[in-house]
Amino acid sequence: MFLRSHKTTILAALVSLTSVTIVEAQTPTPQGPRPHVPTGYLLIEEEQWDMLSDEPSRHLSRARDAFLIMDARTAAAEMRKAAVHVRVAAEHALDRSKRSLTHSEHELEQTAHRIETGMVKSVEDLDLVTARALHALANDQYAKASDAWRKRELKRSGQFLRSATNNLERAAARTDATMRAATAEVAKDSRVISGKLIEGTGFVMDEIGAGLETVGHQIEKVGSRVLPHPPK
């Protein structure tokens, strides 16, 4: 379910090497007490959590670096940390993007286990799992950007669009040169638009609508390269 208020809070278990449970907390009122925070959990406002949108990519990059130097323990731990972020995203995703996020969270956890047991033989296998997770995040963030734009929530639309653009470009980085170049061009224009939305000035309505549509099409194109194809 999409959390419409940026004041919504999230209870998130501290990231560790083991499985992590994520639960939603009640929104505190200005006069009321803050929700009880169990031991081992953090209370985070949704807006603050959204500011951590680059964290999955950082953990996935660290996992790749560790894998390349054959540090399986660190690689697996970083994959699981990325999985935590994807799990939170899935819990608060729009219906149309929840399934892909849930699938990616499970895939990241499974890949962490496969790394530990020596079943991941090439960095290309790791890159494909990473690309799918980043694509799933980009797709959800794009959906939220579009939803916020329809409600004329300009700043939030811009923030989600910027996050979607960053993760889309990172997902495309695991594809071929042509796709990388095309995505980079889309990303360049999208960052200009997202900046205008965040500032709340300097844009025209048609420009935003067209820019969102272009990003949506590019998400579909990158998805065609990184997502598994159903059997014919």
Confidence at residue 23, expressed as pLDDT on a 0 to 100 scale: 42
Q: How confident is the model at residue 53 (pLDDT cuts 50, 70, 90)?
A: confident
Do 60 and 82 touch, CB atoms closer than 8 A? yes
- The dihedral built from the CA positions of residue 45, 46, 52 and 55, taken in this order, carries a sign that is positive
Residue 54: its pLDDT value, please?
84
Sign of CA dihedral 118, 122, 123, 126: negative
Range of the domain at 93: 9-26+38-224
pLDDT exceeds 60 at position 128? yes
Q: What is the predicted pLDDT for the residue at 228?
A: 82
Per-residue pLDDT, averaged over 155-171, amounts to 96
d(CA 149, CA 205) in angstroms, rounded, equals 10
Quote the number of domains for the chain: 1
Q: Looking at the chain, which runs of residues are DSSP E strands?
A: 9-13, 22-24, 41-45
Which residues on neighbouring strands pair with residue 12, listed in sequence order? 22, 42
Residue 2 inside a domain? The answer is: no
Q: What is the pLDDT of residue 188?
A: 97
Residue 18: pLDDT over 90: no
Residue 201 belongs to some domain of the structure: yes
Domain assignment present for residue 145? The answer is yes
Query: Do residues 81 and 16 make contact, with C-beta atoms less than 8 angstroms apart?
Result: no
Q: Is residue 42 part of a domain?
A: yes
Query: Do 57 and 127 touch, CB atoms closer than 8 A?
Result: no
Least confident residue range of 3-7, 105-109, 114-118, 167-171: 3-7
Q: Is residue 229 part of a domain?
A: no
The mean pLDDT of 62-73, rounded to a whole number, is 97
Q: Is residue 119 part of a domain?
A: yes
Query: Alpha-carbon distance 224 to 227, whole Å?
Result: 6
The mean pLDDT value for 75-103 works out to 93
pLDDT over 60 (residue 175):
yes
Residue 180 lies in a domain: yes
> Does 3 fall in a domain?
no
Q: What is the DSSP letter of 7?
A: T
The pLDDT assigned to 1 comes to: 31
